[in-house]
Structure 1
Amino acid sequence: MIPLRDRLPTRTAPVVNYVLLALNALAFLWQIASQEVGYTALVVDWGFVPARFVANPVGQLVTVFASMFLHGGWLHIGGNMLFLWVFGDNVEDALGHVRYALFYLCGGFLAAIAQLMVDPTSTVPMVGASGAIAAVLAGYVSLYPKARVLVLFPVLVIFLFFEFPAWLVVLEWFVLNVVQGMAALGSQDGGGVAWFAHIGGFLAGLVLVRIGMVGRDRIAYEPWHGFHADRPSRRTPRVVFRRPPGPWH
């Protein structure tokens, strides 16, 4: 299933999410402009390599964060940015801009550590925002499990569109990653995908979003009518949105 959009509006502009999307795009353009030799050098120098990190954690700490903005190709960055675009704005809306930025970076860091714990001797560079975005998925499904998500379901040459609750979309994604991760155990490069970074990022996100929501009003989702603040206060006035126009009619 490929998520295309959800129904949830936001109270604030997802500035941090836009910045993350832009930084990933700019970094990928930099990779392309570097041509093949430079492209490889960027991945080798700035990718997260578990064996190098184990040998020199302080010196290699920067690669944990730099690797979140590098990607292995068009499909890699395209898929990651699509998920970030669909799910990130509402998580930022709930957490606030600063907490969302910290949530994203911490999720990506813990995702890298999860991959390291599975194979600390690996010398294969790991790049991509997938671990951090896995944390975003966890945050979204924790906050809005019943939100409706429009997904594309390709069957051979036929493209089908369905609408599912967020919990089902994310569950399908998580189960797929667990199955693929188990199948990749023992292989040298995991099939080219850091499955356990995805799993670790997701599990980290489940915890981090609870920490991030401490002291903040939780947003309750109401089908067809947007959302409102559970506990209206002077700081956060009660807000109700009408159903947005679009393909949801």
Structure 2
Amino acid sequence: MFLPLHDGVPLKHMKTPLATRSLIAACTIIYLLTFHGPLGADAVVGGLGFIPSVLFGTELLPDGSPFVPVELTLATNIFLHGSLFHLIGNMLFFWVFGDNVEDAMGHLRFILFFLLCGMAASLAHAFITAEPHRPLIGASGGVSGVVAAYLILYPRVKIWGLFLKGIPLHLPAYWTIGFWFVLQLVAAFMGGDESVGWFAHLGGFIVGAILIPFMRRRYDPVLARVQAQELQAPR
């Protein structure tokens, strides 16, 4: 297990990561509506969750579900979470890593990046899962793409995190995120918790790594040197 806590990387291009905070707020509000709203959790998950067998036409839902065209559930499922722990875990990763990735892209491109990674993660899950009738929900795939982007942008930044059974360590991103990625690989191919979309995590991570060179701001070597010097300065 790995939970990131803090990285301390200052923002360079914006004062406030509006997109990151807005997406966290949207996920939180939708979680509250899912479990405390008028429809009930089962109806919301059936209406907005992503079910691979429905996308592929091998299964039909009752009339009225999904609430949107089935192709859109590739995106709507990203904003649903099945438990408070599920929500907090995803949003913690998003809070620590999202602001700096947004800073490297800009607000709108960051939202598009997050959605593309999340949708790609949904498709990766759809083609690999052994249980295509089970709904996929959660921001994990999109968050995994953000984590991959952060690793490429800031590989040597030291991150505070909790490892294994809560051991606090301060390690470079390539170690912390690398450890997290290995956990995803092991769980995906060695039979991890079947309720978790491990291949969605891997799919989002791979697509995030592919997209970041094209969606980041134009590379500025002078700014890059300044950032490197600031990040290496004693704290």
TM-score bucket (shorter structure)? 0.7 to 0.9
| Pairs aligned (count) | 220
Q: Which amino acid aligns with 2:19?
A: V
Q: How does 1:77-88 map to 2 (within 5 A)?
A: 77-88=87-98
1:124 aligns with 2:134: yes
191, 194, 207: which one pairs with 2:194? 191
Contact 1:150–1:163, Cα closer than 8 Å, also in 2: yes
**Secondary structure, in 3 states, of the residue corresponding to 2:160?**
strand
Q: Which amino acid aligns with 2:119?
A: F
Which shows bigger deviation, 96-105 or 207-216?
207-216
Aligned match of 1:42: 44
Query: How far apart are 1:46 and its partner, in Å?
Result: 1.1
- Partner secondary structure for residue 81 of structure 2: coil
Q: Is the 8 A contact 1:107 1:132 kept in 2?
A: yes
Q: Aligned partners of 2:209, 2:152: CA distance in 1, in Å?
A: 7
Which of 56, 59, 62 lines up with 2:69 in the alignment? 59
For residues 114-152 of structure 1, give each alpha carbon's deviation from its aligned partner in whole angstroms, at most 9, with x where no partner exists: 111113861000000000000000000011100110112
Tell me which residue corresponds to 1:234: none
Map residues 48-197 of structure 1 onto 2, 5 A cutoff: 48-55=50-57, 59-119=69-129, 122-153=132-163, 155=165, 159-184=166-191, 191-197=194-200
CA drift of 1:222 comes to 2.2
Partners of 2:164 and 2:153 lie apart in 1 by 28
Structure 1: 4+ residue segments shifted above 6 A: none
Alignment RMSD: 2.3
Q: Read off the aligned partner of 2:80 and give its amino acid letter.
A: L
**Paired letter, 1:75:** F
Q: Could you tell me how far apart the structure 1 residues matched to 2:43 and 2:180 are?
A: 31
Structure-1 separation of matches of 2:231 and 2:179: 25
| Counterpart position of 2:20 | 17
C-alpha separation between the residues in 2 aligned to 1:110 and 1:201? 6
Secondary structure, counterpart of 2:50 in structure 1: coil
One-letter amino acid matched to 2:198: W
AA partner of residue 15 (structure 1): L
**Structure 2 residue 228 is the aligned partner of structure 1 residue 222:** yes
Given that 2:34 and 2:41 are in contact with CA atoms closer than 8 Å, whether structure 1 keeps it comes out as yes
Q: Relative to 1, partners in 2 of residues 1:171 and 1:34: Cα closer, same or farther, differing over 3 Å?
A: same
- Which SS does the other structure have where 1:161 is aligned? strand
Cα 1:32/1:166, change in 2 over 3 Å:
same
Moved more, 5-14 or 86-95: 5-14
- Whether contact under 8 Å (2:157, 2:231) holds in the other structure is no
Alignment partner of 1:149: what SS? strand
Percent identity for Structure 1 against Structure 2: 35
Gaps of 5+ in 2: 59-67
Distance apart, 1:214 and its partner CA: 6.3
Contact 1:95 1:216 (C-alpha < 8 Å) held by counterparts: no
1:202 aligns with 2:205: yes
Task: Kindly indicate whether the alpha-carbon contact (under 8 Å) linking 2:5 and 2:160 is maintained by their aligned counterparts in 1.
Answer: yes
With normalisation by structure 2, the TM-score equals 0.86
Please report the TM-score for the alignment, with normalisation by the length of structure 1.
0.81
